[in-house]
């Protein structure tokens, strides 16, 4: 396939061509934003390794009822509206690894952006949240800490 054939195809199929260009641009923009967002997404296995290494602060931003139904061992529950860089769990841990967890990923990404903006250097988010943890068949603890 050469350049002339591609141009002929694009001329015969303008909607397909526009869709291809649009999707390509969307993928590039998404990947560039992910690279420059300032925090890292961890898979459940990576979080386990980080916790085993010690020093990681795991903050669960789920509702209290969801937290009691099941959470990662050692995590602390904080409501997203009450959490920020000045919260007592993380206020003195700007150089320590902080991992944010929630049910969907939305609350943890918002909180991660705030921590990064405040100067935290090791901000992480559990990719996929608690459902990803469960899918990896890792244990959850029930009740309060």
| Active-site pick, 90, 100, 101, 102 | 102
CA–CA gap between residue 142 and residue 70 (Å, rounded): 5
Cross-strand partners of 101? 60
Q: Cα dist. 2→11, 15, 21, 50 in Å?
A: 15, 20, 18, 50
Helix axes 14-35, 3-12, angle to 10 degrees: 110
Q: Is 102 a catalytic residue?
A: yes
Q: Which residues are catalytic?
A: 102
């Amino acid at each position: 396939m050469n350049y002339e054939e591609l141009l002929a195809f694009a001329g015969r199929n303008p909607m397909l061509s526009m869709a291809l260009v649009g999707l390509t641009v969307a993928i590039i923009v998404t990947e560039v934003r992910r690279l420059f967002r300032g925090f890292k997404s961890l898979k459940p296995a990576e979080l386990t390794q980080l916790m085993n290494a010690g020093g990681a602060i795991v903050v669960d931003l789920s509702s209290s009822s969801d937290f009691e139904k099941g959470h990662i061992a050692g995590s602390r529950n904080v409501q997203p509206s009450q959490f920020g860089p000045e919260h007592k769990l993380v206020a003195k841990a700007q150089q320590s690894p902080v991992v944010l967890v929630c049910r969907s990923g939305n609350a943890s990404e918002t909180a991660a952006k705030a921590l990064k903006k405040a100067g935290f250097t090791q901000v992480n988010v559990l990719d996929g949240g608690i459902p990803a943890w469960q899918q990896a068949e890792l244990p959850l603890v029930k009740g309060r800490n």
